[in-house]
Amino acid sequence: MNQNLLINNIVTVKNKHYAIAKNILLVLSGTIFIALMAQVKIFLPSTVIPVTGQTFAVMLIGLTYGKKLGTSTLISYITAGSLGLPVFANLKSGFPFFSPSGGFVIGFLFAAFICGYFADKGATKSYAKLIPVLLLAHFVLYFFGLLQFRLFFPGVNVFEKAFIPFIPGDIIKMVLMIGILPTVWKFVKEQ
């Protein structure tokens, strides 16, 4: 059990069978959390992609669950939506990769992996370590998102339509994560 992961310091089990059940429940609850946060959205007049709570949920899952469990949760989320469960923004489902925002869904998987990889190494315990992790995860998320957006709208300035309008929301989400995670670590250490 990786003690660098916040979830392993909050939800502890000694028995291997209980650990499997714990992981299944965490993946399920993480999938539901992302699905709920996908419904928290703000539509901007300048773009077809809404600002959602998904980015916050995806990165928070990666940062608290770690690389393996965080990535498993994102695979579960994407699979649930692809199989018809209404887990994506606007309660949509289906194969998300064939839409202007499909690249962002792909980017979610990589962003969770990156956040989880560095969480496994203890990055969530420090404000200074958490900031570059979140910046890297956002960079990768936007790389895939803008690439896909560009395929659907080749004549459009992708930075103007699918990046710049989202910067204020991303900053707010990052500040929340940077404020929450090290603070929860301090609380957990005191227990």
Element housing 52 (H / E) = strand 51-52
Give, for all 191 residues of the chain, the pLDDT tens digit.
677 677 777 777 888 888 888 899 999 999 999 999 999 988 888 777 778 899 999 999 999 999 999 999 999 999 999 999 999 988 989 887 788 889 999 999 999 999 999 999 999 988 899 999 999 999 999 999 999 999 999 999 999 989 999 999 999 999 999 999 888 887 877 76
Q: Please report the pLDDT score of residue 1 as a whole number.
A: 65
Per the domain annotation, does 69 fall within a domain? yes
Per the domain annotation, does 1 fall within a domain? no
Per the domain annotation, does 57 fall within a domain? yes
Q: Please report the pLDDT score of residue 191 as a whole number.
A: 66
Element housing 51 (H / E) = strand 51-52
Q: Please report the pLDDT score of residue 50 as a whole number.
A: 77
Q: Please report the pLDDT score of residue 8 as a whole number.
A: 74
Q: Give the closest residue to 59 by CA, choosing from 73, 78, 46.
A: 73
Per the domain annotation, does 157 fall within a domain? yes
Per the domain annotation, does 96 fall within a domain? yes
Q: Give the closest residue to 144 by CA, choosing from 78, 67, 81.
A: 78
Count up the domains in the chain and report the number. 1
For residue 35, CA distances in Å to 41, 72, 78, 160, 170 come to: 12, 15, 10, 27, 18
What is the domain range of residue 82?
A: 6-190
Q: How far apart are CA 9 and CA 34, in angstroms?
A: 22
Q: How far apart are CA 167 and CA 164, in angstroms?
A: 5
Provide the CATH number for the domain around residue 106: 1.10.1760.20
Per the domain annotation, does 58 fall within a domain? yes
Q: Please report the pLDDT score of residue 10 as a whole number.
A: 76
- Please enumerate, as own/partner, the contacts of 175-179 that have beta carbons within 8 Å and a separation of 24 or more: 176/56, 177/56, 177/59, 177/60, 177/63, 177/130, 177/134, 178/127, 178/130, 178/131, 178/134
